[in-house]
Structure 1
Amino acid sequence: MPFPAQDHGCSGWNAEMAQRIGEFDWSATELGPIEHWPRSLISTVQLMLASPVPLVLLWGKPGYMIYNDAYAVFAGGRHPYLLGRPVEGGWPEVADFNRHVMTTCLAGGTLSYRDKELVLLRDGQPEDVWMDLSYSPVADDSGAPAGVLSIVVETTGRVLTDRWRQRAEAELHETNERLQLALNTGAVLGTWVLDVRTGTVTGDERFARTFSFPLEEAAKGVGRKSATQVIHPDDQAFNDRLTAEAIRTGERFRAEYRIRRPDGEYLWVQANGQCEFNEQGEPTRFPGVLIDIHERKIAEQSLRQLTETLEQRVADSIAARALAEEQLRQAQKMEAIGSLTGGVAHDFNNVLQVINGNLQMLVADANGHPATLRRLSAATEAVKRGAKLAAHLLAFARRQPLSPTVLNPRRLLAGMGEMLHRALGETVKVETVLSDDLWHVQVDRNQLENALLNLAINARDAMQSDGTLTVRAANRLLDAGFCRGIPELSPGEYVVFSVTDTGTGMSPEILQRAFEPFFTTKPDGHGTGLGLSMVFGFVRQSGGHTLIESDVGRGTTVSLFFPRCREPETVETADETAAPVGGGGETILIVEDDADVRLTAVEMLAQLGYKVLTASSGDAALDFIDSDVPIDLLFTDVVMPGQVKSVELAQRAAARSPATPTLFTSGYTRDEIFHHGKLDAGVTLLSKPYRRDDLARKVRSAIEAGAARRSQQVSQQHSGQASATLPGTPGRVLLVEDDTDSREAFSDLLAALGLDCTAVASAEDALPLVSTQRYDILFTDLTLPGMSGAELARAALRQQPDIRVLLVSGYGESAQIGAAIPGARMLGKPLDIAQLRRELGQWIDHAEAAS
C-alpha cells in the first residue's frame, strides 16, 4: 500500500483517508490499479494527505475525486461516497460550476474564489454555504496538466457573522437617526440629569434653551432651585412632591407642569425620568427628558370647557334648529306661492293674448270709427294693466325673462334722481348716500329701476307723503358669521342698495308677511300687494337677497344685496328697432296648445302676409319638422303638452337642411329656455301678451336672421370645400365640453397638435355652428346639459355627412349611446394622448407637414 500514514509522516487524523484510498478498487476507474499510478499522481496524493487543510484532487478529465481527512469532514454525509467519483456526479447540484473548473484548469489556468456562495445538499436539504476556493492544475509525469488540486475552506460562519454585524450596525444607525429626528421635531425640549447628592442639574443644548440658561452653564451644572424657578408657581409644589417620591421609591417619574418662556407666556411640558441607585441603594443620578405637550393640554382644556357648557350648547343647537326649520317653512311657503302665482300668470297671459290679439285686429277693421276706436283703446289699456299685473306675478315667481347687463350703481342712481322726485312729490326729501369706488353689478337695468322705484313709493306711503327718504349704495364684504342666519346668502363681495324711510314702520307680524303676494296694509283700492313680492322675486332671480329691518314708529329699511361683478360696465346702445314689416309669403309653423291663442296668432300672421301651418303639440309639430314641407320659421309656445318638448322641437328644426330658426313665446318662462335668471344663449322670446306690431318685428327679425345664417352656411361650405383641397390646411375641430377646465385643457391640446379648434359649452351652442360652418372633426363630451353629445353627433352628420365624430365619456369606451352612429368613435376619460393622435392622424400629419 503506497499511502500508509506511518510511512509518509501523516498525522493520525489523516490515517483514515490513507487507508481508504489504499483499499479502494481503482481498477473500475480510468485511473487503473493503484500500483500502476504515475509517480506524479502518487506524490500529489501524499502531499494532500499530509495537509490539515481540506484538499481534494480531481484527476483525469472526469475529475475522479481523491481527498484528505479534512475534506472528508467538509463532505459530511457524502463521505465516503465521493471517493473515486467524477466530480460532476459527486456534486450534481453544482455540476455546471465544476465543469467550468475542470475545463479551465486542464487547459493550464487557475481559479480562485472568495466567499463563493453555493447551494449544497446537506442531510437531504438544500443549504446556502459560502467558501473560499482555489483551483490549480496538477501535471502528470510528462508535465502536461492531468488533474486539478482544490483547496476548500468553508466561510459560512464568518459570512453570516459579518452579515449579522452589518445588520446590527444598520439598525443602530437607523435607531440613532430616529432618535435624532425625534429630537429635531421640537417635541423634545431637552434632556437633563440631576445629581442627587449635590443637587445640581446638567442639561443639553435644548434644555439650556428651554430654561433660558447659557449652554456652558447648563453643561457645567446649575442648582436645582435655579432650574425650577421658571416653573409656574401653582405647579412647583406638585413637581417637588413627585420628584421626592421618585427619589425615595425608585419608581418612574412623570410630571406635567407649566414653564415660563422668555416672552412671559407659559408652556405645558411633561418631564419623564427614573432615579438610579448605587450598590448600597443610595440615590445617585436622576436622568430625564422634557417633552412639549402644550397643544394636547390646550385641546384637553377646550374639550373640558365644551363638556362643561354642553347643556348651553344643546340649548343653542335646538334654538338654531328651530330657526332653520322656521326659515325652511318660510322658504317652502314662498316657493309654493311662487309656483302658484307663476301658473296663474301663465293662464292669465294666455287669456290676455286672445283678447289683445283680437283687439289689434279689430283696430285694423274699425275703419277709423271714433267711438269704436275709443272703446278698443279702453279695452287695450285694460289689457296692459292686466299684463303689468301678470308681470308682477312672474317677477315674484322668479319667472320673468331678464336681460342682465353690467351696471355702474353710481351712474344708475344718478339717472334715477329726476324720476324719484317726480314720483315722490315735493314734500318728501330725498337723500342719496353713495360709497366711493362702488363695485359693478350684473342685473337687469329696467327691473332694478322698477324695484327701487317701488320701494320709494312704498316708503312715501308709509311716511304719508312727508318725511325723508334715504337711498344708499355701498360695497359690503359678508363673512360667514353674517351669512349663517341667512341661508340664501354666501360669504363674499356684494353691492347693497338700501331704501330707508322715516315712516310708521312695521310690526313683527306684518314684517313676516311683507313679501307675500297680494298682502298689503293699504286700504282697499290702494295697491295690489305685489310691490314687495315683485322686488323679492327679481332680486332672488338675479342671484341676490332682500332684507327688511323695521321698528314701529321709527321707519323701515329695505336692503337689496347683489353679488359683485368684476366685468367692465356694459356700454348702452341706442334702440334701433325698425318699424314692423309684413311677410313675403314665408311659411310659419305655429305650435300652441291653447286653441284660442293659436287661432289669434294664425289670424295676425295671415294679416301680415305669411303662410301658416298649425300644430297643437310638439308631437304633432314633429311630423311637419321631419317632412319635406318647407318651413321658414318655427313659432312655438315654451310650455307644451306631449312627449316632444319645445326645446327638443327647436333642436330638430335647427338640424333640418336648411336649418329652420325658432321663435319662442310664453306667458310663463320655464326652465326649458331659462337658466340662472336669464334666457339661454341664442334663444329668441316673445312674451305674452304681445301686440301685433311686436309679433311682426320678432317674426321678421327671426326669419331674416335664419336666411342670413343659411347664406353664410352655403358660402362657408364652398370655402371649406375649397380649403379642404389645399395641402397643409389645419383640420377644423368643433369641441363641445360643458366643464370649463376640461374644455380649456382639450382646446389647448388640440391647438398644440396643430388643429384649428372652436370650443363651445353645449350642443345648443354647437348646432348653429354646424349649420353655418364646415368642420372636419366633431369632438364632443357624451354627457352635456340639454341635448346629449350622441344626439348632437346625429344632427351634425345630417348637416355634414363627412364630419369625423369623436365621442368622449367618463364612463369609458363602453358608454351607452343608443342606436349606433356610423363612423363615430368612443374615447374614454382620462384621454390617452397616443390614442387621440391615432384618431386624428391624417389631420395632425398634414399640420406637421405644413409646419
Structure 2
Amino acid sequence: MQFLDDSHGCAGWRGEMAGRIRTFDWSHTELGALDTWPASLCSAVQMLLASPVPIVMLWGRLGYMIYNDAYSVFAGGRHPYLLGAPVELGWPEVAEFNRNVLDTCLAGGTLSYHNKALVLLRDGVPEDVWMDLYYSPVADDQGTPAGVMAIVVETTDHVISERRRQEAEAAYRADNERVRLALNAGALLGSFVWDLKADRLSGDERFARTFSYPLGQNLGDLPTDHAESRIHPDDVGWVNEQVNRSVATGEPFNAEYRVMRADDSYLWVQASGCCEFDEQGKPFRFPGVLIDIHERKTAEESLLKFTRNLEQRVADEVGARLAAEEQLRQSQKLEAIGGLTGGVAHDFNNLLQVIAGNLHLLARHEPENANVQRRVTASIAAVERGAKLSSQLLAFARRQPLSPTVCDPRQVFEGLGELLQRTLGETIRIDVRLPQASWFIHVDRNQLENAILNLAINARDAMRGDGVIELHAQNVTLDRRFCAGKGIVEGDYVQVGLSDTGVGMSPQVLAQAFEPFFTTKADGKGTGLGLSMVFGFVKQSGGHIEMASVEGEGTRVHLYFPRSRRTLPSETDAHDTQHHGGHETILVVEDNEAVRTSVVELLTEEGYQVLTAANADAAMQMLLEGVAVQLIFTDVVMPGLIKSTDLAAWAKVQTPPVAVLFTSGHTRDMISRNHQLSPDTFLLSKPYRPEALTRMVRTVLNG
C-alpha cells in the first residue's frame, strides 16, 4: 500500500496508532483504501490521534473502529484486534448499546453519559465498570453524518473511590455519634469533697450509688468509714498511703482500686483529686472525681495472663509455622504436578474424541461386518479406559467440572452402605458412626461417593481382605492454628473419616501417597491414581485432606468439607429425556478439524441441520449476519479474539435466547468458578459417545 502524501492530511499523524492505521488494509471495509479517504475523515483521525484522552471513531453503518493510543490502553487485550473491526463484533457484550449509538449519531444526534454503568467482559469474566461517554456525529465531505466520534473516559476508580468516601463519612458520623453518646453517658462515677477540718465527706448521687450508701442518705454528710469499708481489703492500705502523701505534699491524688458493688462483685475505679490548702498552708479541703476503669483493668489482667505464657506460645507458633511451611511445600509440589497432568489430559481427551467419533461412525457404516464390529468394540473399550485414566488425571489436577449440591452426609452414607459391602466382600466389616444431626456440605455427591469408595478399597487391600473399616462423619470447628498452611480458613466443617487396621505405611511412603502414579501395589493391581483423585476432589471442593499411618497398626484418613448453611434441595420426579434426534439447526464451533468433522457427521445422521465455524470469531460473524440457529455446540478453549464465553453471553441476551452446549477436554476455569458449573451451564466432557452427544443436545434443546 502506498502512504498518503502530505496534501492528503495524514502526514501529521503521530504515535503508535498512526503507524498501525497507515499499515492496516482498509480495502475490505466500507472505508476503502487509505488513499481514497475523504478529507473530513482524515482531519477527524488527525484530531483523535492528537488527543491524550481515549477516543474511538466508528465509521459507517457497521461502525468500523479507528482509535488513538489512549484508547488502545483502555481496550486492553482486545487491542490491536479492534482496529478496523465492526464495533458490535469487537464489543459483543454491549452490542445493543453501541447499535443505539450508531443509529442516533448517524441520524445527526448526540449522546452523553456521566458515570455510565456497563458490564464488560475482561479475561472472559463480567466486570462492572463506569465511564463518561460522549458521542457526536462526524460529517463526510458532503456534510452528511458518516461516522461517530466517541470520547471514552473510564471512571470506575473514581466511582469506587467516591463510594468508599461516602461510606467513610457515614462511618465517621456514626463514630462521632457514639462518642457523643459515650460522653453524655459518661464513664464518670461521681464527684466528692472531703472537708478535712470537719472530717466530713460529701458527694453526688452517682458517688453515693457507687459506694452503696443507703437510699435517703444525706449527700452532704456521708460517713467516711462506710466508704472505706467498701474498698477491697487488699487496696485499703494503698489508698490511704496515696491520700496521706497528697495531703502532706500537695501532689495530685491518683489511685486505682476496687469497690464492692451491691451484688458483692468488685468494680475497678480511679479516684483523682488534689488537696487544697488555706492561707496558712494547712490542708482544709480535698475534692475529687471517681472514674469507671473496670473495662480497662479487666483487659489489662487478661493481657497479663496472656503474656505470662508468651514464651510457650512463641514456641508453639514456630512449630506451627514449620509444619505450615512443610504443608505449603507439599501443596506446591502437587500443584505443579497437577498443572502438568491437567494439560496432558486436555490434549489426550481431544485425541480420544477423534478416535472415538470415527470408531462409532465406522460401526454404524458396517453393521453386518462381524470382524469390524468386534475390532471396533475392543477399540472403544480401550478408548473408555483411556478416558477414565484422563478423568482421574483431571480430578488430581483439580480441573474436572463439578456439579455441587447441598448434601446431608447421613444420606450419602446410607446410600453407599450396600455398594460398599458388595464391593469390599463379606469378610470386611464396616463400622459406621454418624452424629444425630450432621451439618450439610456443598459438594459433588457422585465424586464424594467415589472418593469414599476409593479409600475403602485401599483399606480393604491394606488389610488383605479381612478386618474392620471404621467410617464416620462428625461436625467440627477448626481454629486458625489448625488451618495454618492448609489452604482453608477457620470455621465450621464436616469431617468425613475412614480408618483401617491394615499394614500401614512408612513415613517415606506416606509422604508420596497423594502423588499420581505412585503405588505400592504389584504391577497391574493399581494405577496409583486413586488417592490422587481423592486429593484433587477435596481441594477443588474447598476442603482439606489429612492422612496418618503407622506401620503394622493401620491408616486413618480425614476429609474436611466446609459447612453449608443452605437448605437441602427438594426432590423432584425424574423424567426420561428423549434421546432421538431432531430437525433443529446446530452451529458447531470447534478448532480441531478432525473433531469437527466427526461431530458434524454424527449430528447429521440424527437429522439435525449442521453449520460449522473454526472459532468463535467466525461463529459470531455468522450470527451477526443473521444466520438463525437453535443451538451453539462450542469447544471451550479456542484461538481468536472472541472467547467461547463471549459467544455464550451474546446467545443469552437474544430474543429468544439461543441454547449453548459447551464441550472440552478440560475447562481451565473459563466457564466455571473453581471448575464448579452453574446450574444454567451445560458441559459435555471429551471424549463422549454418540448416545451421550445425542442425549445432551436433546436435553439442552428441550430445556
TM-score, L = length of structure 2: 0.65
The aligned runs of 1:132-281 (5 Å cut-off) are 185-196=186-197, 201-214=201-214, 219=219, 227-278=227-278, 280-281=280-281
Q: Paired residue for 1:62?
A: none
Shift in alpha-carbon separation, 1:575–1:450, aligned structure 2, 3 A: farther
Q: Deviation per CA, 1:802-832: give whole Å up to 9, x if none.
A: xxxxxxxxxxxxxxxxxxxxxxxxxxxxxxx
**What is the CA distance between 1:564 and its match in structure 2?**
2.8
Shift in alpha-carbon separation, 1:315–1:360, aligned structure 2, 3 A: same
**What is the CA distance between 1:212 and its match in structure 2?**
3.8
Q: Measure, in 2, the Cα distance between the counterparts of 1:620 and 1:395.
A: 33
Contact 1:201/1:218, CA 8 A, preserved across alignment:
no
Q: Select 2:615's aligned residue among 614, 617, 621.
A: 617
Q: Measure, in 2, the Cα distance between the counterparts of 1:610 and 1:243.
A: 101
Contact 2:589/2:633, CA 8 A, preserved across alignment:
yes
Q: Measure, in 2, the Cα distance between the counterparts of 1:454 and 1:575.
A: 31
Q: Measure, in 1, the Cα distance between the counterparts of 2:533 and 2:396.
A: 5
- Answering whether residue 505 of structure 2 is matched by residue 498 of structure 1, we say no
Q: Deviation per CA, 1:649-692: give whole Å up to 9, x if none.
A: 34445677886543321111233322354323433322211112
The aligned runs of 1:307-386 (5 Å cut-off) are 318-386=318-386
Q: Deviation per CA, 1:56-100: give whole Å up to 9, x if none.
A: xxxxxxxxxxxxxxxxxxxxxxxxxxxxxxxxxxxxxxxxxxxxx
SS in 2 for 1:352: helix
The aligned runs of 1:785-804 (5 Å cut-off) are none
SS in 2 for 1:520: coil
Amino acid at match of 1:185: G
Contact 1:239/1:257, CA 8 A, preserved across alignment:
yes
**What is the CA distance between 1:491 and its match in structure 2?**
4.9
Q: Paired residue for 1:61?
A: none
Q: Measure, in 2, the Cα distance between the counterparts of 1:202 and 1:682.
A: 77
**What is the CA distance between 1:453 and its match in structure 2?**
1.0
Q: Measure, in 1, the Cα distance between the counterparts of 2:540 and 2:210.
A: 61
Q: Paired residue for 2:523?
A: 524
Shift in alpha-carbon separation, 1:219–1:385, aligned structure 2, 3 A: same
Contact 1:430/1:469, CA 8 A, preserved across alignment:
yes
Contact 2:505/2:549, CA 8 A, preserved across alignment:
yes
Q: Deviation per CA, 1:540-560: give whole Å up to 9, x if none.
A: 334444343444424313334
Q: Paired residue for 1:687?
A: 685
The aligned runs of 1:697-776 (5 Å cut-off) are 697-702=695-700
**What is the CA distance between 1:704 and its match in structure 2?**
6.0
Shift in alpha-carbon separation, 1:405–1:257, aligned structure 2, 3 A: closer
Q: Measure, in 1, the Cα distance between the counterparts of 2:406 and 2:268.
A: 57
The aligned runs of 1:16-165 (5 Å cut-off) are none
Q: Paired residue for 1:567?
A: 567
Q: Deviation per CA, 1:447-506: give whole Å up to 9, x if none.
A: 2221221121111122221211122234x2525457643654445554443222222334
Q: Measure, in 2, the Cα distance between the counterparts of 1:560 and 1:251.
A: 63
Q: Paired residue for 2:129?
A: none
**What is the CA distance between 1:368 and its match in structure 2?**
3.4
Q: Paired residue for 1:401?
A: 401
Q: Measure, in 2, the Cα distance between the counterparts of 1:385 and 1:315.
A: 51
Shift in alpha-carbon separation, 1:406–1:561, aligned structure 2, 3 A: closer
Q: Paired residue for 2:416?
A: 416
Shift in alpha-carbon separation, 1:237–1:429, aligned structure 2, 3 A: same
**What is the CA distance between 1:351 and its match in structure 2?**
1.2
Q: Measure, in 2, the Cα distance between the counterparts of 1:691 and 1:182.
A: 75
Q: Paired residue for 1:673?
A: 671
Shift in alpha-carbon separation, 1:250–1:495, aligned structure 2, 3 A: closer
Q: Paired residue for 2:28?
A: none
Q: Select 2:647's aligned residue among 640, 646, 649.
A: 649
Amino acid at match of 2:682: T
SS in 1 for 2:336: helix
Amino acid at match of 2:346: H
- Answering whether residue 427 of structure 2 is matched by residue 427 of structure 1, we say yes
Q: Measure, in 1, the Cα distance between the counterparts of 2:350 and 2:567.
A: 38
**What is the CA distance between 1:640 and its match in structure 2?**
0.7
Contact 2:493/2:561, CA 8 A, preserved across alignment:
yes
Q: Measure, in 2, the Cα distance between the counterparts of 1:340 and 1:560.
A: 26
Q: Note the residue ranges of structure 1 that are not aligned, 5 or more in a row.
A: 1-180, 706-851
- Answering whether residue 463 of structure 2 is matched by residue 467 of structure 1, we say no
Shift in alpha-carbon separation, 1:570–1:543, aligned structure 2, 3 A: farther
Q: Measure, in 2, the Cα distance between the counterparts of 1:438 and 1:281.
A: 78
Q: Paired residue for 2:595?
A: 597
TM-score, L = length of structure 1: 0.55
Q: Measure, in 2, the Cα distance between the counterparts of 1:607 and 1:375.
A: 22
**What is the CA distance between 1:317 and its match in structure 2?**
5.1
Contact 1:182/1:188, CA 8 A, preserved across alignment:
no
Contact 1:499/1:557, CA 8 A, preserved across alignment:
yes
Shift in alpha-carbon separation, 1:557–1:331, aligned structure 2, 3 A: closer
Q: Measure, in 2, the Cα distance between the counterparts of 1:503 and 1:515.
A: 18
**What is the CA distance between 1:371 and its match in structure 2?**
3.8
Shift in alpha-carbon separation, 1:387–1:266, aligned structure 2, 3 A: same
Q: Measure, in 1, the Cα distance between the counterparts of 2:183 and 2:637.
A: 71
Contact 2:480/2:489, CA 8 A, preserved across alignment:
no
Contact 2:402/2:676, CA 8 A, preserved across alignment:
yes
Q: Paired residue for 1:557?
A: 557
Contact 2:615/2:639, CA 8 A, preserved across alignment:
yes
Q: Measure, in 1, the Cα distance between the counterparts of 2:283 and 2:598.
A: 112
Amino acid at match of 2:499: T
Higher Rg? 1
Structure with more relative contact order (C-alpha pairs < 8 Å, separation 6 or more): 2
Shift in alpha-carbon separation, 1:434–1:485, aligned structure 2, 3 A: same
Contact 2:478/2:493, CA 8 A, preserved across alignment:
no
Contact 1:247/1:275, CA 8 A, preserved across alignment:
yes
The answer to which of 386-395 and 258-267 deviates more is 258-267
Q: Paired residue for 2:41?
A: none
SS in 2 for 1:678: coil
**What is the CA distance between 1:637 and its match in structure 2?**
1.1
**What is the CA distance between 1:425 and its match in structure 2?**
0.9
Q: Paired residue for 1:637?
A: 635
The answer to which of 662-671 and 629-638 deviates more is 629-638
Contact 2:497/2:556, CA 8 A, preserved across alignment:
no
SS in 1 for 2:338: helix
Shift in alpha-carbon separation, 1:587–1:568, aligned structure 2, 3 A: closer
Contact 2:545/2:557, CA 8 A, preserved across alignment:
no
**What is the CA distance between 1:211 and its match in structure 2?**
3.4
Contact 2:538/2:559, CA 8 A, preserved across alignment:
no
Amino acid at match of 2:687: P
Q: Paired residue for 2:449?
A: 449
Q: Measure, in 1, the Cα distance between the counterparts of 2:250 and 2:651.
A: 95
Q: Measure, in 2, the Cα distance between the counterparts of 1:684 and 1:184.
A: 61
Q: Paired residue for 2:106?
A: none
RMSD: 3.6
Amino acid at match of 1:338: G
SS in 2 for 1:473: strand
Contact 2:587/2:632, CA 8 A, preserved across alignment:
yes
Q: Measure, in 2, the Cα distance between the counterparts of 1:370 and 1:345.
A: 33
Shift in alpha-carbon separation, 1:683–1:231, aligned structure 2, 3 A: closer
Residue identity over aligned pairs, in percent, reads 51
**What is the CA distance between 1:390 and its match in structure 2?**
1.2
SS in 2 for 1:335: helix
Shift in alpha-carbon separation, 1:620–1:251, aligned structure 2, 3 A: closer
Q: Measure, in 2, the Cα distance between the counterparts of 1:441 and 1:304.
A: 41
Q: Paired residue for 2:154?
A: none
Amino acid at match of 1:435: P
Q: Measure, in 1, the Cα distance between the counterparts of 2:626 and 2:256.
A: 91
Q: Paired residue for 1:294?
A: 294
Q: Note the residue ranges of structure 2 that are not aligned, 5 or more in a row.
A: 1-181
Q: Measure, in 2, the Cα distance between the counterparts of 1:390 and 1:672.
A: 19
